[in-house]
């Protein structure tokens, strides 16, 4: 199903809840969160926070503890130690959960015999949301034309869109999304990226786990990386991915690396084997190569690599660019 790029804003898309001041609690706060399943430590002393008005990527390899952490945040799994809060209180204590948190943990929540519209109507009634929001969220996720089709005939991507519509029904201040890109075609992935950036621009906090690192790098402001149940790094994307630089394709990478070292320019080897000179320009690298008589086939600007940073921060069990989700 084609995705229209600009969604249609309506007045009901904007939160009617009081906005959180900069001095208030984080939108999401995880402090010392710990969970064991028998002898297995799924999450171990996890701590990080998510600010309003940002998109935060939640990354980790297979079995890292992402899904368990999100389930504890949403009160679906009891923590052995520590605490998780949304806007300063545990999820189970929120007076109006649907107006505070919207979540996608899987895309299997809708009964296959119901239409998308009926599913949203049932959910709106269950959580006390005005049914007038249904048309807005169907439009927001580009499911208007499929609203009266049975969910059993939906593709995986359409189910993801319906899950997102369900999460947005209460116009929540916080979104918690586990692999929302699953099943989306390239146009859908770009649509979702633009939508998440738009929602963050409204002041909403978005916490999104994903195995599509290249897409994460285009979407998020901050990154939380975990491995084997423990926090590895939490920082702005630019700090984790590293500074931009110059990718150099040359048959004399060893000589060029020596020339860069002599000039005090940091460098690394990219996933394709090319040399990447960090925090410099093609002009500087080109002059160095010419002065040393080094053959260069190609010089191009390179952004910081989230994939390289991810693999260096974790155990590196996952292939470059792919993280498989741990079981729920």
**CB-CB contact of 247 with 300 (8 Å):** yes
Q: What is the pLDDT of residue 309?
A: 81
* Closest C-alpha among 35, 63, 28 to residue 208: 28
**Across residues 188-198, what is the average pLDDT?**
93
**CB-CB contact of 94 with 75 (8 Å):** no
Confidence label for 287 from pLDDT (cuts 50, 70 and 90):
very high
Q: What is the pLDDT of residue 108?
A: 58
Query: 25 or 101: which carries more pLDDT confidence?
Result: 101
Q: How many CA atoms lie within 13 A of 303 on its CB side?
A: 11
Return mean pLDDT, the chain.
86
Residue 202 burial by Cβ neighbours in a 10 Å radius (0-12, 13-18, 19+): middle
pLDDT digits (tens, 9 = 90+) for 126-148: 999 999 999 999 999 999 999 99
**Percent of the chain clearing pLDDT 70 (strictly above):** 87
**Across residues 92-112, what is the average pLDDT?**
87
**Percent of the chain clearing pLDDT 90 (strictly above):** 67
pLDDT digits (tens, 9 = 90+) for 17-26: 334 444 568 9
DSSP state of 45: E
Q: DSSP secondary structure string, 308-324?
A: HHHHHHS---SPTT--P
Give the span between the Cα atoms of 30 and 53, in whole angstroms: 18
**CB-CB contact of 101 with 74 (8 Å):** yes
Global confidence as pTM: 0.75
**Across residues 154-168, what is the average pLDDT?**
93
* Closest C-alpha among 83, 78, 127, 132 to residue 103: 127
Residue 194 phi, psi (nearest 5): -65, -40
**Complete domains list, the chain, with CATH:** 11-236 (3.40.50.300), 243-303 (3.30.70.260)
């Amino acid at each position: 199903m084609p995705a229209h790029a600009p969604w249609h804003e309506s007045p009901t898309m904007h939160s009617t809840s009081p906005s959180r001041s900069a001095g208030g609690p984080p939108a999401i706060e995880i402090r010392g969160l710990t969970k064991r399943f028998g002898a297995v430590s799924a999450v171990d002393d996890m701590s990080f926070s998510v600010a309003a008005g940002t998109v935060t990527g939640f990354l980790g390899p297979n079995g890292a503890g992402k899904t368990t952490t999100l389930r504890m945040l949403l009160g679906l799994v009891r923590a052995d130690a520590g605490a998780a809060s949304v806007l300063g209180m545990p999820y189970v204590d929120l007076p109006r959960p649907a107006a505070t948190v919207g979540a996608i943990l899987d895309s299997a929540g809708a009964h296959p015999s119901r239409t998308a519209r009926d599913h949203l109507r049932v959910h709106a009634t269950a959580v006390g949301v005005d049914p007038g929001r249904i048309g807005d969220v169907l439009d927001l996720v580009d499911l208007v034309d499929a609203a009266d089709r049975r969910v059993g005939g939906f593709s995986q991507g359409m189910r993801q869109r319906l899950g997102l519509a369900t999460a947005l029904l209460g116009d929540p201040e916080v979104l918690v999304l586990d692999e929302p890109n699953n099943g989306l075609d390239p146009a859908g992935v770009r649509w979702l990226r633009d939508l998440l950036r738009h929602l963050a621009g409204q002041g909403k906090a978005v916490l999104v786990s994903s195995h599509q690192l290249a897409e994460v790098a285009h979407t998020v402001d901050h990154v939380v990386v975990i491995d084997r149940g423990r926090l590895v790094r939490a920082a702005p994307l630019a700090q984790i991915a590293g500074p931009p630089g110059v990718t150099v394709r040359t048959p004399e990478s060893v000589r060029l690396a020596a020339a860069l070292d002599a000039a005090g320019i940091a460098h690394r080897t990219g996933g394709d084997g090319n040399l990447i000179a960090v925090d410099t320009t093609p002009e500087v690298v080109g002059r160095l190569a010419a002065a040393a008589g080094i053959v260069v086939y190609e010089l191009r600007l390179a952004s910081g690599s989230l994939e390289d940073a991810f693999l260096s921060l974790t155990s590196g069990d996952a292939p470059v660019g792919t993280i498989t989700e741990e079981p729920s």
